[in-house]
Amino acid sequence: MGPRPRPRPILATLLALCAAACASARPAPVAPAPRVPAPLATPERPRPYPVFETPGFRRAVERGTRTRTGRPGPRYWQQYARYRITAELDPATARLSGAETVRYLNRSPDTLATLSIHLYQNANAPTAMRDRFVPATGGVALTRVAAQGQEIPARAAPGRPYYLVTGTVASIRLPHPLAPGDSAELELAWSFTVPPVGNPRMGTDGEVFFLGYWYPQLAVYDDVNGWQADQYMTNAEFYMGYADYDVSLTVPAGFLVAATGTLRNPADVLSPRTRQRIASPPAAGGLVRVVAPAERGAGRATAGAPGGKLTWRWTASNVRDFAWGTSDRYVWDAAAVEVPDAHGDGRPDTVVVNAFYRPEKGTSWNRWASLGARAVAFFSRELWPYPWPHMDLVEGILDGGMEYPMATLIGGTRDSTSLYGVSLHEIGHMWFPMMVGSDEKRHSWQDEGVNSYVDDIGLKEARPASDPFGADQDGYLELARVGSADGEWIGGEVELMRHGDLYPPLRPAFGAATYTKTAVVLHMLDGLLGADVLHRALREYGRRWMYRHPDAYDFFNTIDDVAGRDLDWFWRPWFFETWTLDQAIAGVDAAGDSATIHVEDRGLAPMPARIAVTRADGRVDRVEVPVEVWLAGARRHDIRVAAAPAITRVEIDPERFFPDVDRTNQVWTPR
């Protein structure tokens, strides 16, 4: 950027105004000769300024709940809840009715006069604010709200408790303020129509019903921002508190149910044959057909008789959500995988991977349980062990996939390669954000991008060995270079540190930032720090924040802490800006027994320039321009090397760690 205009002195401005006001009483002045503007100076390269904390994060550090090392502070706290839910689904009308009792524990140091509750299904109300199309179904009908033993009316009266629904959020003014260390019990009853296909993360196609974000859920109240009760506008995902669940689900007999948690009454809902097949997990690497196509239905797959109903009871502890799927068209396969010790008892653990799918959707699905087991094994090895006894894979509804604790929903037409790729990504979300509970709305990259980086490693055998992250780099660079694809303007790149609902609508900027660019940026850290250091930092980040709520600054600070480096110069351009990298070999000059390599930094984002010098005898010398050269403001740097043996090629970043916008200027060969 060029020099800023100097402000005009106030006195000079006033004199000029006075002169203008008195001009009619004076002779017209002679116009001065036009001034020739001075040539513009070459702009100085921008230098990344430090990463500034938000006021909320700074206050959290001052209060001792966070630290600048990336560790939770000694006074860290978070809220907790215990849900008891009963619900019944009527497939004929697609109507779900439910009631819940919630015990909310105030572990904060604050007294709470109101509670905020998410009603996600109101995103389907005709008048809801949305940033994508969803079918309108009417939203949630609340039929009862009670708190602290009192019925709460929907209309406010002076000095009286009440609740108010605004879009997808309900606020309840409590009869009695909730003191620190105390708890409050809420009771709610509700119903809604399950939306048809077209809803982004749940719904029904008439055969399969998947219920995600289906019950009134307490919003997060945290130590950085207080209540995080943003509207659900269907693009940005979720920020959820950890809780215990005891859930009873009534569905027609013959419908299989997959869900978060542990089934507590298999003898009441499963047929003897089905119970026998799940009585002991399959051997690691093996596959069991728990319910075959000819065994579907009441009296065969499940207990009960046609036309009857069954109630399935599930419990789950310390999870951030509860989701479930059901259909009478599902078959059920189970595979098992052994993972390293997740519970500290010195023994490996066995995870059962269940696959519920309609075989009519294609033959690739009959390998799904085995593919899921492979994905669980990969993440347990690459990050840390999967901690739950099962992982459910549920088919239907979506063209893509969506994650929930211990479950994922995946649809579409897929061959085995595609099915494994999507399953790998969705299962990876069991680590981020199911275990590491970040705010997906404000920092979508913190789960999607970190997960994309790790699952790229899991897919690297399917990519060229010379460029394992080329697909992600190409996707990011296409947007970063010109903002167009196939000649159509698609909007420019948008920075990563942006709320997920504030990206340009109907543009790929959200996906490019949230998934692709973050994976590319972490691959750069591979190159900067070394994969061993980065992976150790990611594991430490998970260890520190498992079942907690890390902020983006906790992520940055943990990587800095483990790497032993201040990386503000890296975080600023890649997360807070849309600066791009463009390093070039401007030429090579030989003089006597030495040669000078002219390296230029033509972009905005500073990175070390790692250069390979290939010689006539096949030897490759490595030299580097440290990032500190560019941070000091330089645009050009010369490196002197020996002239012999003859230099046949000079290349910046031959490993392609860094996403340079113009690789054509990174290679020099003699003419």
**pLDDT tens for each residue of 250-302:** 999 999 999 999 999 999 999 999 999 999 878 877 899 999 999 999 999 99
268's enclosing H/E stretch is helix 266-269
Q: What pLDDT does 461 receive?
A: 61
Comparing C-alpha atoms, which of 175, 101, 168, 94 is closest to residue 137?
94
- Judged against a pLDDT cut of 80, whether residue 327 lies above it is answered with yes
> Which positions ≥6 away from 632 have C-beta within 8 Å?
none
The residue that leads in pLDDT, 494 or 300, is 300
pLDDT classification of 580: cutoffs 50, 70, 90: very high
Query: What six digits make up the tokens of 261?
Result: 């948690």
The residue that leads in pLDDT, 510 or 667, is 667
Q: Which of 135-139, 167-171, 435-439 has the lowest mean pLDDT?
A: 135-139
> Which positions ≥6 away from 257 have C-beta within 8 Å?
249, 251, 269, 312, 324, 325, 326
pLDDT in tens, 536-578: 999 999 999 999 999 999 999 999 999 999 999 999 999 999 9
Q: What pLDDT does 470 receive?
A: 56
- Judged against a pLDDT cut of 70, whether residue 3 lies above it is answered with no
Q: What pLDDT does 507 receive?
A: 65
Q: What pLDDT does 440 receive?
A: 96
Q: How many CB atoms lie within 10 A of CB 109?
A: 12
Q: What pLDDT does 509 receive?
A: 85
Average pLDDT, integer, range 7-17? 32
The residue that leads in pLDDT, 25 or 616, is 616
Q: 184 and 161 in contact (C-beta within 8 Å)?
A: no
pLDDT classification of 226: cutoffs 50, 70, 90: very high
> Which positions ≥6 away from 472 have C-beta within 8 Å?
452, 456, 516, 519, 520, 523
Nearest 10 degrees: Cα torsion 96, 102, 107, 110: 90
Angle at 391 between CA 385 and CA 396, to 5 degrees: 145
Q: What pLDDT does 28 receive?
A: 41
Sheet arrangement for strand 407-410:
287-291, 331-339, 349-357, 390-395, 407-410, 401-404
pLDDT classification of 23: cutoffs 50, 70, 90: very low
Q: What pLDDT does 282 receive?
A: 81
Average pLDDT, integer, range 181-198? 97
Q: What pLDDT does 483 receive?
A: 58
Q: What pLDDT does 659 receive?
A: 95
- Judged against a pLDDT cut of 90, whether residue 369 lies above it is answered with yes
Question: pTM of the full predicted structure?
Answer: 0.90
The residue that leads in pLDDT, 3 or 212, is 212
Q: What pLDDT does 281 receive?
A: 75
What mean pLDDT value characterizes the chain?
90
pLDDT in tens, 598-610: 999 999 999 999 9
- Judged against a pLDDT cut of 60, whether residue 389 lies above it is answered with yes
